[in-house]
Chains A and B, each alone.
Chain A
């Protein structure tokens, strides 16, 4: 298909991204309760994400890059990856947290303004995954308060998307 044929196709049939199902109401409710308990200020429906690779294998990063691409098109949900932690609302960490990355992770978190969320993506980030017990790892994102975990080795882009959308829903629920 040439570019002109593709352009015609897109104009006729609408844009390319795949339709997405609604996020899990259960996860959103749990997150909302947690948010109320912490009496955190709400962030609204547009959230900026700072990713920290805490020593993973690049598998989770591959799927996060896919999430950012045309097929999943993260930005249509109000989510975007940013490069400065000072602009970020969410710290999204992958990897088993190597001892060598602990300092950089702590500094990135400290540089983010309040309120802020921490999301651990992938089995490694939750408890170290297959690297549990290594002399070089701290066994997951254990040094920060984690608000949401997304399982999988690596989780599919859909799984990550569902978790992040639950976070938006929780955020948008008016405080009681």
Chain B
């Protein structure tokens, strides 16, 4: 066991389920932070806060490990000097709660662009803060020194149909010296809206963290609530949740593949993947009454059962894809150079940033690292069904595209097996008006989604959602360092990043 993991496990375990959270003193938290430099240190998944505490979640050899520290005098010791992946989380905690990361690498604003009525809207001292007056300060970017450099600001309104994000490009001729991302434009105050509502009502906010992964977010949130309240969903709900999740995965992978191929100029392939993507949308609409299956997953089970002709609609869409996919992949193989060598992420960097989903699995380590939350830590029904997770080692645009395409037949196989043996019975279990703290996980098409929730007296007291793109945006910055300016759209498409899930 690594030193950091040993320090965390020595802390007193709280009642968080199913994985306990270990309370650390300020000194032990600092010692744990210092041990995060080690090569075998657990990989950071996220850092979040509530009024009096800061929590950190790690994966230690595949098992979730949570630690927390009390906020003292408005601050807590930073993790970012030893673990760069913590930096964005620390900036988010400062902007939402007003807790300062002592010794943090970056103290600039993140979600807060100065447009809210007060600072630290979720923090314990919010009521005492003065209201803001005047125009907000312009955002601060990293300083640039050198000759013949020019900067390009892209966004927040950029591209044809896109979510808001600002990319600050520093170029020297055709070479991109640095890419810096500024998010926060889509901050909707989701965590604040969830507070004080019954867990079932708060599910609609979880479902709207990211439209392209609405099932995965709903599922991770439902897992967290069910763990907190000690409720088990009925078998039919477990199976149908997996049906929805795999259908969403196939649709999202087709969507991402079409976007990458569009940037690469492969119009025929883009069109065919786009066609099948639409077929999956239609099938989902017929099966569950909503093309994105939004709000279909509910804590305790499901809100919508499968329609009478739903299974047939899904099977027909899968059959059409299976009939054409081999030919599309063969055509792709003939243009083998598509995206090869562009936007490379070294396996060690991917591991250090806890990359998951196609971004992580395209940068597999020699030891076979390629985490998929469906298996590690795992949740029903996948460990019983069995699952083959394709990985690649190249870590470039081509590998990220191929990992997605390789996952399509596997998800289709799972879907057919699930539909073949659907259990009968009810689709939801009632939630007790109880208290508890839970951590939930689900694998989205973009990677691992974590949800944490604390329920007090039947109402959500605090919540957090960790979208996988928290850790993937910084990897895009790294992938484009010293790359070609013209490769940026293709590389960005291969990451398939979204703003809303990260902006909360």
Chain A positions within 8 Å of B, measured between CB atoms, are 1-3, 6, 16, 50-66, 68-71, 81-83, 85, 95-96, 98-105, 108, 130-131, 133-137, 153-154, 156
Q: Does B234 contact A (CB under 8 A)?
A: no
Q: How far is the CA of A101 from the CA of B117 in the complex (A)?
A: 14
Q: With contacts A51-B161, A57-B209 known, is A62 near B156, CB below 8 A? A: no
How does the 8 Å CB contact mask read for B175-186 relative to A, with 1 for contact and 0 for none?
A: 000000000111
Which of B270-278, B371-379, B451-459, B473-481 lies at the binding interface? B270-278
Q: Does B236 contact A (CB under 8 A)?
A: no
Q: With contacts A81-B160, A134-B192, A134-B193 known, is A100 near B211, CB below 8 A? A: no
Cβ-defined partner of A131 (8 Å) among B189, B274, B499: B189
CB of A99 within 8 A of CB of B210, answer no
CB of B186 within 8 A of CB of A55, answer yes
What residues of A have a CB within 8 angstroms of the CB of B189 in the complex? 131, 134-137
For the complex with contacts A54-B164, A100-B184, A134-B189, 6 further pairs of A-B residues with Cβ separation under 8 Å are A57-B214, A60-B211, A66-B277, A83-B160, A99-B115, A156-B285
Q: Does B484 contact A (CB under 8 A)?
A: no
Complex A-B: 8 CB contacts under 8 Å = A55-B164, A58-B210, A69-B275, A70-B271, A83-B158, A95-B186, A96-B188, A134-B188
Q: With contacts A57-B500, A58-B498, A63-B291 known, is A16 near B275, CB below 8 A? A: yes
- Going nearest first, the 6 A-B pairs with the smallest beta carbon separation are A59-B211, A136-B189, A134-B189, A99-B115, A58-B211, A69-B274
Residue of B nearest to A2 (CB): B327
**Which secondary structure dominates where chain A touches chain B?**
mixed
CB of B156 within 8 A of CB of A70, answer no
What residues of B have a CB within 8 angstroms of the CB of A103 in the complex? 115
Q: How far is the CA of A138 from the CA of B200 in the complex (A)?
A: 25
CB neighbors of A among B132-182 (8 A): 156-164
What residues of B have a CB within 8 angstroms of the CB of A63 in the complex? 291
Q: How far is the CA of A100 from the CA of B121 in the complex (A)?
A: 14
What residues of B have a CB within 8 angstroms of the CB of A57 in the complex? 208-211, 214, 500
Shortest A3–chain B CB gap in Å is: 7
What residues of A have a CB within 8 angstroms of the CB of B291 in the complex? 63, 156
Shortest B417–chain A CB gap in Å is: 26
Chain B positions within 8 Å of A, measured between CB atoms, are 113, 115-117, 121, 156-164, 184-190, 192-193, 204-205, 208-212, 214, 255, 258, 268, 271-272, 274-275, 277-278, 281, 285, 291-292, 294, 323-324, 327, 331, 498-500, 503
CB of A98 within 8 A of CB of B186, answer yes
CB of A62 within 8 A of CB of B157, answer no
CB of A3 within 8 A of CB of B331, answer yes
Residue of B nearest to A99 (CB): B115
What residues of B have a CB within 8 angstroms of the CB of A137 in the complex? 188-189
Most chain A beta-carbon neighbours within 10 Å: one of B158, B161, B204: B161
What residues of B have a CB within 8 angstroms of the CB of A56 in the complex? 163, 186, 211, 500
CB of B161 within 8 A of CB of A3, answer no
Q: How far is the CA of A103 from the CA of B211 in the complex (A)?
A: 24
Q: With contacts A63-B291, A134-B193, A135-B117 known, is A53 near B162, CB below 8 A? A: yes
Shortest A57–chain B CB gap in Å is: 4
What residues of B have a CB within 8 angstroms of the CB of A100 in the complex? 113, 115, 184-185, 187
What residues of B have a CB within 8 angstroms of the CB of A55 in the complex? 164, 185-188, 500, 503
CB of A101 within 8 A of CB of B156, answer yes
Residue of B nearest to A67 (CB): B161
CB of B209 within 8 A of CB of A104, answer no
Q: How far is the CA of A25 from the CA of B158 in the complex (A)?
A: 34
What residues of B have a CB within 8 angstroms of the CB of A50 in the complex? 157
CB of A154 within 8 A of CB of B292, answer yes
What residues of A have a CB within 8 angstroms of the CB of B160 in the complex? 51, 68, 81-83
Residue of A nearest to B271 (CB): A70
Residue of A nearest to B331 (CB): A3
